[in-house]
């Protein structure tokens, strides 16, 4: 197809996408594998911080008489500042990596950006495992690995959202969150197996396994097509047609391919007319144009994307996965905190697949509101039991109360895994228009990692024995922030279930968050921009008849 050709589409709002095929499922599921990076790193760091040999190397403290991780005395631990630095520095790297990733993805493509992220990540892993007791080198490795994870986490969401069919996009992008939970579980299992080794293999094995994830994802992406929306943005309609035909598993001359391509092109032309693409700085500034009261403005979308990722972090979930082992150690009545951490991780994994159904059955907005409300209740229950139950905060003082706390923590994890975990990522991948989509998703992902970093910095001071030592009272804080997260979803998040990325643009301009769930598509972008066969009514009839036959 010549670069200057006009692609004509349809006026039928149900005809803008081909039927879902197994090939499309496979591509999205494989791309979701990038969540392993995010999850695995979250999982191994919390466990390594409680390993006897790791603590010995980085504090120069003598090993206790019983050096098993489950039996360590409370004073044999990394200081709060060191835990804070080691944990949060990766998030600092991912913050900057995610911001840069948007520009890189717009220039070289979505796939090459993810592959580059895998390479950078491997360099960081080498720096993490090379030293035995050099804090500076370990921290530098965390920072570099973080930059790679930032590339991957931002662009995976962008890539999946752009190639996934609208009917199952929520479920497929939720697969990214599922892979995060699998990554956490794998890391927890590996850490559980190496925790009591009294040599450097105790932490080098969990860190070194990460090379495998980079090889699988980076190597596999060489065989997947580029996002067709990337080529539309670059003006290369020939490549856009080839990639879209591959993604939808249709011949290039299929009316399905032509109709969807015409819709993407028409929407992009409309957005370009309203978002002039000038210099580099002005392109970034365009992400903040418009009124906050206008649901379709770039500013409003940027606030929703970055705010939703902030709100996800302040549900308090990563406190459990980053510092769960250390927190359970402080409760005193648990024989093996590492095992309990593994149980909570397993709850996360087993709960997440339910979101594949709920996110398409009930929608994004509704499950955010339901899940947020449940998390508020469960986290306050943990805090109330810890404070009100007799001797609950004394070591060995009230085992039934501690078990009740763990039960509510597991319920809280299940509520997150089926709602906020996947839904926040799905919405971020859907709400931005094509001209600013890569930067919008990049900023939203950077927001996730920025607040992840902040939580990583401050949390050790909340729960460490040498600092505030709040114990279960810390859940009063997370319950309160979960209230704010739920209110944010109520006032700002619109329902995007069952709509194409281009239809979401229409919906945002015509509804408010509270009325968005009732909106139905009524016009295609191709029709609005005059890119249909309507100039020849007879041809339009033939085109639509062919479309109906293919659909049948």
The token duo for 228 is 């067709």
What is the residue whose two structure tokens read 């990596």?
97
Half-sphere exposure of 378 (CA within 13 A, CB side): 21
- Given this model, what pLDDT does residue 412 score? 92
The token duo for 516 is 């968005």
- Given this model, what pLDDT does residue 33 score? 83
From residue 251, how far is each of 16, 18, 472 by CA, in Å? Answer: 15, 11, 59
Q: pLDDT tens digits, the chain, 552 residues: what are they?
A: 444 455 665 666 666 666 777 887 888 888 888 888 778 877 787 778 888 888 888 888 888 877 777 677 777 778 878 877 887 788 888 889 988 998 899 899 999 999 999 999 999 999 988 876 678 888 899 999 989 988 888 888 888 888 888 888 888 888 888 888 888 888 888 988 888 888 888 889 998 998 888 899 888 888 888 999 899 888 888 998 998 888 888 888 888 888 888 888 887 777 777 666 667 777 788 888 888 888 889 999 999 999 999 999 999 887 776 666 666 665 655 566 667 777 888 888 899 999 989 998 899 999 999 999 999 999 999 888 888 766 655 666 667 777 788 888 889 999 999 999 999 999 998 899 888 888 899 999 999 888 888 887 787 777 666 666 677 788 899 999 999 999 999 999 999 988 888 888 889 988 999 999 888 887 776 676 666 665 444 334 334 444 444 444
Residue pair 422/177 in contact (Cβ under 8 Å)? The answer is yes
d(CA 238, CA 347): 46
Prediction pTM value: 0.80
Nearest Cα residue to 38 out of 205, 153, 122:
153
- Given this model, what pLDDT does residue 351 score? 92
- Given this model, what pLDDT does residue 9 score? 58
d(CA 212, CA 220): 12
Q: How many other CB atoms are there within 10 angstroms of residue 533's CB atom?
A: 19
Cα 353 from chain centre? 15
- Given this model, what pLDDT does residue 545 score? 41
Residue pair 342/189 in contact (Cβ under 8 Å)? The answer is yes
Residue pair 393/471 in contact (Cβ under 8 Å)? The answer is yes
Residue pair 413/344 in contact (Cβ under 8 Å)? The answer is yes
From residue 44, how far is each of 175, 196, 339 by CA, in Å? Answer: 21, 14, 14
- Given this model, what pLDDT does residue 542 score? 37
d(CA 297, CA 488): 18
What is the residue whose two structure tokens read 């005193």?
332
d(CA 82, CA 78): 6
- Given this model, what pLDDT does residue 390 score? 66
Q: What is the DSSP string of 475-511?
A: HHHHHHHHHHHHHHHHHHPPP-TT--HHHHHHHHHH-
From residue 55, how far is each of 59, 62, 67, 398 by CA, in Å? Answer: 6, 9, 11, 29
Question: Which residues have a Cβ under 8 Å from the Cβ of 444 and sit 6 or more positions away?
Answer: 302, 305, 306, 308, 309, 428
- Given this model, what pLDDT does residue 35 score? 83
* Helix 35-48 with 210-221: angle, nearest 10 deg: 170
Helix (H) or strand (E) holding 268: helix 255-274
């Amino acid at each position: 197809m010549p670069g200057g050709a006009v692609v004509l589409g349809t006026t039928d709002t149900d005809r803008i996408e081909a039927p879902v095929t197994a090939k499309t499922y496979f591509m999205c599921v494989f791309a979701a594998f990038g969540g392993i990076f995010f999850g695995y790193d979250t999982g191994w760091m919390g466990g390594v911080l409680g390993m006897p040999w790791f603590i010995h190397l980085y504090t120069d403290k003598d090993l206790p008489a019983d050096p098993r991780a489950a039996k360590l005395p409370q004073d044999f631990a990394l200081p709060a500042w060191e835990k804070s630095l080691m944990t949060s520095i990766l998030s600092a790297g991912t913050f900057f990596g995610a911001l840069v990733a948007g520009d890189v993805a717009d220039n070289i493509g979505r796939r090459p950006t993810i592959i580059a992220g895998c390479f950078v990540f491997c360099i960081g892993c080498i720096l993490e495992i090379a030293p035995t007791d050099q804090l500076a080198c370990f921290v530098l490795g965390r920072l570099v690995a973080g930059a790679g994870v930032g590339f991957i986490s931002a662009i995976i969401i962008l890539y999946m959202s752009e190639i996934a069919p609208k009917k199952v996009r929520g479920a497929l992008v939720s697969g990214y969150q599922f892979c995060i939970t699998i990554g956490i579980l794998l890391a927890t299992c590996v850490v559980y197996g190496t925790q009591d080794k009294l040599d450097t293999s105790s932490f080098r094995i969990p860190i070194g396994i990460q090379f495998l994830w980079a090889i699988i994802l980076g190597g596999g992406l060489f065989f997947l097509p580029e996002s067709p929306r990337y080529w539309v943005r670059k003006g290369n309609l020939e490549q856009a047609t080839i990639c879209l035909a591959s993604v939808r598993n249709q011949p290039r001359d299929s009316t399905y391919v032509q109709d969807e391509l015409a819709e993407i092109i028409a929407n992009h032309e409309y957005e370009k007319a309203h978002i002039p693409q000038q210099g580099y700085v002005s392109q970034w500034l365009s992400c903040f144009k418009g009124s906050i009261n206008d649901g379709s403005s770039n500013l409003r979308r940027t606030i929703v994307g970055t705010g939703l990722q902030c709100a996800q972090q302040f549900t308090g979930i990563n406190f459990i996965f980053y510092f769960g082992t250390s927190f359970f150690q402080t409760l005193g009545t648990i024989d093996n905190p590492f095992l309990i951490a593994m149980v909570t991780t397993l709850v996360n994994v087993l709960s997440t697949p339910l979101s594949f159904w709920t996110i398409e059955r009930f929608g994004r907005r509704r499950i955010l509101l339901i899940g947020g409300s449940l998390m508020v209740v469960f986290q306050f229950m943990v805090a109330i039991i810890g404070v009100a139950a007799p001797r609950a905060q004394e070591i060995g003082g009230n085992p039934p109360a501690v078990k009740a706390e763990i039960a509510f923590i597991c319920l809280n994890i299940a509520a997150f895994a089926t709602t906020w975990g996947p839904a926040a990522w799905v919405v971020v991948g859907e709400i931005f228009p094509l001209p600013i989509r890569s930067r919008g998703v990049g900023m939203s992902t950077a927001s996730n990692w920025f607040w992840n970093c902040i939580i990583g910095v401050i949390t050790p001071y909340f729960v460490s024995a040498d600092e505030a030592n709040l114990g279960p009272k810390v859940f009063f804080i997370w319950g309160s922030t979960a209230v704010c997260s739920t209110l944010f979803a109520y006032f700002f998040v619109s329902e995007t279930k069952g709509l194409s990325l281009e239809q979401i643009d229409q919906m945002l301009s015509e509804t408010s968050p509270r009325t968005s769930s009732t909106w139905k598509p009524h016009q295609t972008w191709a029709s609005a921009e005059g890119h249909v066969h309507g100039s020849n009514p007879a041809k339009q009839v033939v085109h639509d008849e062919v479309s109906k036959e293919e659909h049948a």
